[in-house]
Amino acid sequence: MSFPPYGAVRDSGLPWVPRIPEHWEVRRNGGLFSQRIETGFPDLPILEVSLRTGVRVRDMESLKRKQVMSQREKYKRAAKGDIAYNMMRMWQGALGTAPVDGLISPAYVVARPYAGINSAYFSYLYRTDAYLREVNKFSRGIVSDRNRLYWVGFKQMPALLPPPAEQDQIVAYLRAQDVQIARFIRDKRRLIEVLNEQKQTLIHRAVTRGLDPKARLKPSGIEWLGEMPENWFARRLKFVADNVTEQTDSQRDGEIYLALEHVESWTGKMNPPQGAAAFSSTVKRFQKDDVLFGKLRPYLAKVVRPQVSGVCVSEFFVLRIKDVEVTPAYLELLLRTKKVIEIVNSSTAGAKMPRADWTAVGNLSLAFPPKTEQLRILSAIADQTGSLDVASVQARGEIALMQEYRDRLIADVVTGQLDVRGWVPGPDDVIDETAALLDDEDETMGEQGAEDDDDGHE
């Protein structure tokens, strides 16, 4: 269903949205919300702020998270309908509306809406790209990526104010669209999971039994593998590759920079930033054909073999082949198999941010065929999984297009570029506050943002 623009518009006086509906107002946030600073509610559930899903009740099942129980008296109360935002991550969209009364980290700001204010509308507005670009103008900090939006800055920011009934209509429409979009994305992600499972099955067979189903087998001495072809050999990873830890604070001409968010899970595809990167701490240097293994949350299977030299964050192991009988491409493939990822992940420490330790990973025993057979296996796998890769890439592209469509739709509706006052829910429209949250996974959310979603909780 398409919607027309508003008939009567006027100048807003705002550079990020020059024209708005004639009957809309421009108000500063301080006239829409008051700051809530209330502590001493230890029985309320703890809430967290996510870059993608907004505010949600935190899962407190893990033992490590139960350790925060004694700190509840320091947490701020957020009432249902309040807006809470992460001061350091507001510029990335780390905000949302509290779904229930709960507790928010003392490092966050809680904004209580005045009468006639639908905070869900403003949660949509505040997360648009245009508004987030304005956040830095009102934030304070030593460096831009650590800027904080304090309450004093937030309350000075201008915002658009439709009439109350129109706020409600906009929220109802966008939530209904969110449900449909979420269903589409979930279906595509399930398809990608199925395709990856099929690919992993083919790869697992090839790297554990080779290409000849009649090959004679022998005990491998590796518990998780059992038998292997009799012409294969077993090696611990630390005897196959060195864990290179060369540190640097500079990036040379022609080098790329890789952080975890620049590597796609399970595929080894890279999307490094263009040009020179800015990093606040030392990084690791790697060479062409080194295998980079993401040790933070290894279950994400961020394993890549760059074809150019560069620098990377310390959350990668940089593995450099030293055994002449092993090819870098085969090691990359082997380390990205489901079984190896499961074994590495089981060895990690840390509940919230599990990290693999080189002592455990280096002692991992692996099986290798002769070098010529490694090359044949790589070629065969490329042939057998090519169509699966094409289908997966297509599904990911459809997800990206749908996310772009959603962002554009929200921006047009909440800034008054489209008039949805005539929208009436149809029989297939569901307006569900919880179902409307799009649970964007790691590949669509920056690693650093994911790590810092919950500043102050632990």
Helix (H) or strand (E) holding 194: helix 164-209
Mean pLDDT of the chain: 89
Full DSSP string of 132-171: HHHHGGG-B-SSGGG-B--HHHHTTSEEEE--HHHHHHHH
Q: Which is nearest to 319 in space by CA: 363, 342, 287, 297?
A: 287
Structure tokens at 354: 């599990």
- Portion of the chain with pLDDT greater than 90, in percent: 78
Q: Is 60 exceeded by the pLDDT of residue 368?
A: yes
Q: What angle do CA 404, 405, 408 make, to 5 degrees?
A: 85
How far is CA 150 from each of CA 88, 169, 331, 454, rounded to the nearest angstrom?
9, 30, 48, 17
| Contact (Cβ atoms closer than 8 angstroms) between residue 353 and residue 451 | yes
The residues, ordered by sequence, that sit 6+ positions from 247 with a Cβ below 8 Å of its Cβ are 282, 283, 284, 285
Residue 281 Cα distances to 65, 248, 249, 307, 315, angstroms: 28, 9, 7, 24, 12
Position 142 confidence tier, pLDDT thresholds 50, 70, 90: low
**How does pLDDT run across 260-301, given as a tens digit for each residue?**
999 999 999 999 998 888 777 889 999 999 999 999 999 999
Per-residue pLDDT, 435: 46
Residues 374-428: pLDDT tens digits? 999 999 999 999 999 999 999 999 999 999 999 999 999 999 999 999 999 887 7
pLDDT at 286: 98
Which pLDDT belongs to residue 52?
Answer: 73
Looking at the DSSP assignment, which residues form a beta bridge with residue 398?
A: none
Question: Residue 58 — very low, low, confident or very high, per pLDDT cuts 50/70/90?
Answer: confident
Query: SS3 of 422, please?
Result: coil
Strand order in the sheet with 283-286: 247-248, 283-286, 310-312, 256-258
Question: Residue for token digits 């109360």?
Answer: 77
Distance CA 349, CA 169 (A): 47
- What DSSP designation does 272 have? P
Tokens coding 139: 């934030």
Which whole number is the average pLDDT over 233-254?
95
Q: Is the pLDDT of residue 64 over 90?
A: no
User: What was the pLDDT predicted at 25?
Assistant: 98
Helical residues (DSSP H) of 225-264, grouped into ranges? 237-240
Instruction: For residues 412 and 408, give the distance between their C-alpha atoms in angstroms, rounded to a whole number.
Output: 6
Mean pLDDT, residues 167-194: 96
Tens of pLDDT, residues 65-77: 444 455 788 899 9
Return the closest-CA partner of residue 401 out of 185, 128, 187. 185
3-state helix, strand, coil in the chain (%, to 5): 40, 20, 40
Measuring CA to CA, which residue among 403, 402, 416 is closest to residue 125? Answer: 416
Given a cut of 90, whether residue 62 has pLDDT beyond it is no
User: Sorting pLDDT into bands at 50, 70 and 90, what band is 188?
Assistant: very high
Total residue length of the chain: 458
Label residue 339 by pLDDT band (50, 70, 90): very high
pLDDT of residue 276: 80
Check pLDDT > 60 for residue 54.
yes
Quote the pLDDT of residue 431: 62
Confidence (pLDDT) at 353: 85
Residues 138-176 as b or e (16 or more Cβ within 10 Å = b): bbeeeeeeebbbebebbbebbbbbbeeebbebbbbbbbb
Write the pLDDT tens digit of every residue in 82-124: 999 999 889 989 999 999 999 998 889 999 999 999 999 999 9
pLDDT tens-place string over residues 431-447: 664 444 455 443 333 33
Residues 6+ apart with CB under 8 A from 161: 24, 25, 26, 27, 32
Give 295-330 pLDDT, tens digit per residue: 999 999 999 999 999 999 999 999 999 999 999 999
H helices present in 310-429, as ranges = 328-335, 338-346, 358-362, 371-414
Q: Which is nearest to 73 in space by CA: 41, 106, 107, 50?
A: 41
pLDDT of amino acid 349: 82
- Return left, alpha or beta for 46; rule: phi > 0 is left, psi -120 to 50 is alpha, else beta: beta
Q: Which residue from 229, 283, 228 is spatially nearest to 256, judged by alpha carbons?
A: 283
Residue 444's contacts (CB-CB under 8 Å, 6 or more residues apart) are 52, 399, 400, 403
How far is residue 14's CA from residue 133's CA, in Å, rounded to a whole number? 13
The predicted pLDDT at position 442 comes to 37
Q: What is the pLDDT of residue 1?
A: 67
State the Cα–Cα distance between residues 103 and 129, nearest whole angstrom.
28
- Domains of the chain plus CATH, in order, are 27-183+397-451 (3.90.220.20), 211-368 (3.90.220.20)
131, 171, 176, 182 from 413: Cα distances, Å: 14, 10, 13, 18
Find, among 184, 443, 112, the residue nearest to 302 by Cα. 443
pLDDT of amino acid 446: 34
In angstroms, rounded to a whole number, what is the distance separating the alpha carbons of residues 106 and 261? 28
pLDDT of the residue at 70 = 57
Per residue in 12-26, pLDDT (tens digit) is 999 999 999 999 999
Whether pLDDT at 199 is above 90: yes
pLDDT attached to residue 293: 98
CA dihedral 450, 454, 455, 458 (to 10 degrees): -120
Cβ density class 91-116: b for 16+ within 10 Å, e for less: bbbbbbbbbebbbbbeebbbbbbeee
In one-letter notation, the amino acid at residue 321 is I
The pLDDT value given to residue 181: 95
